[in-house]
Amino acid sequence: MKNNKVRIGIVGVVGRGQIFVDPILMTDYADITAICDINVEGMKKYEEKIGKGVKVFTNYEEMIDSGLIDAVFVATPMPLHVPMSIYALDRNIHVISEVTAAVTVEECRELYKAVKRSKAQYMMAENVNFFKDVMIIDGLVKAGYLGKIHYAEGHYIHYTGDVIDPNSWRFKTIAGCNYCTHNLGPMLQWFGNERIAKICCIGSGMRRQAPTGEFARSEMANVLMCKTESGRLMQVRKDGGTPTPYMIPFEICGTIGKVMVRKSSPVEENYVYLNTEEYDHTPYAEEWKSLQYYEREFLPKSWVEATHTVPNMGHLRADYVMTIEIVKALYEGRKLPIDIDMALNMTVPGILSIESVENGCKWIDVPKFDVD
């Protein structure tokens, strides 16, 4: 597909899929040639916005079989991700799927097989991997500034205590840490996507209760521990029950340094400490540097361009940067940023966390999908 404009289809365009529309329309790498949703009335807005004779579908299979697209963005409810991805992959159409990649281990196995037999590429669109701070840290890690990474933790603090509708997906579907890719994605990136070998998960013991008397499936807070094959450790905390502003803080620890990303507000500083000669190591000295200090050296060009091109929108511009990276890679015939191995590495621990938390924080081995 190198140097040919990529023809894009978006399923779920009226919902989550809308975040891909503006970035694609702003590039010279791709055209949106088809959109699909069950909300016919809602699609009229995007049909008008996209223009250029975009074809509108209410049937996903018809869009895939239309011959109008080279790649599809799958932005539908999670239980539809795998069947829709496999249908496209079996027709050699590239798939960019929203998180999570799958909802069961068996689905993960079937998706892996479909990717391996397809001539098309698969990517899971984990947007936190494209946050500005996350990408600067990735540069620090790859340059060896922190030494050898041995531990990281990430918290997904998203208060949904006001969502007490027993029919909502967050109320009846989320359990354990099965929605943990926002944390595991960046940490696995910093760990070089080393395979997670085993996990355990424990909850805080309290659940939200709906007016109907039903209790949410998930406890209000859960902690997931992940051990890699070499023994390194990652910790995820998912907390939807504590009243607090939205936060995705991280810590990453190496043999000669540490980074703390607070992410409690857009203006709060994030900090780096390095055990090197340039730092003042006297007690109580101003030893921490702002992560912004390293921005000029490690911020990717795509982020620099985004800062000057688009307003602060779409998860602090991360949705824009991710989408541009995706369509540019397809246009240039390069590998997509988050492949099937990384997608499953950050999805499977969350799936298994449910079994672990329901069995007293039992350690569970993570299956390998390349040995079947």
* Chain segment 204-233, per-residue pLDDT in tens: 999 888 888 888 888 999 999 999 999 999
Residues 190 and 149: beta-carbon distance below 8 Å: yes
Q: In angstroms, rounded to a whole number, what is the distance separating the alpha carbons of residues 252 and 259?
A: 5
Residues with Cβ within 8 Å of residue 346, at least 6 apart in sequence: 124, 126, 180, 181, 184, 185, 188
pLDDT over 80 at 255, yes or no: yes
Q: What is the mean pLDDT of the chain?
A: 91
What is the model's pTM? 0.93
DSSP structure string for 52-88:
TT-EEES-HHHHHTTS--SEEEE-S-GGGHHHHHHHH
Let me know: does 247 contact 260? Beta carbons within 8 Å. Answer: no
Residue 93 pLDDT level (bands cut at 50, 70, 90): very high
**pLDDT for 329-363, tens place per residue?**
999 999 999 999 999 999 999 999 999 999 999 99
Element (H, E) at 348: helix 340-357
Residue written as tokens 């200090």?
Answer: 293
For the cut 80, the answer to whether the pLDDT of residue 99 exceeds it is yes
Q: What is the pLDDT of residues 1-41, one digit of tens each?
A: 555 899 999 999 999 999 999 999 999 999 999 999 999 99
State the DSSP code for 215.
Answer: B
Residue 276: Cβ within 10 Å count: 11
Q: How confident is the model over 56-82, as a mean pLDDT? A: 98
**At 238, phi and psi to the nearest 5?**
-110, 120
Q: Is 156 helix (H, G, I), strand (E, B) or coil?
A: strand
Domains of the chain are 6-124 (3.40.50.720), 129-300+348-357 (3.30.360.10)
Residue 42's CB: how many other CB atoms inside 10 A? 14
Question: Is residue 294 classed as helix, strand or coil in its secondary structure?
Answer: helix
Whether residue 266 has pLDDT greater than 60: no
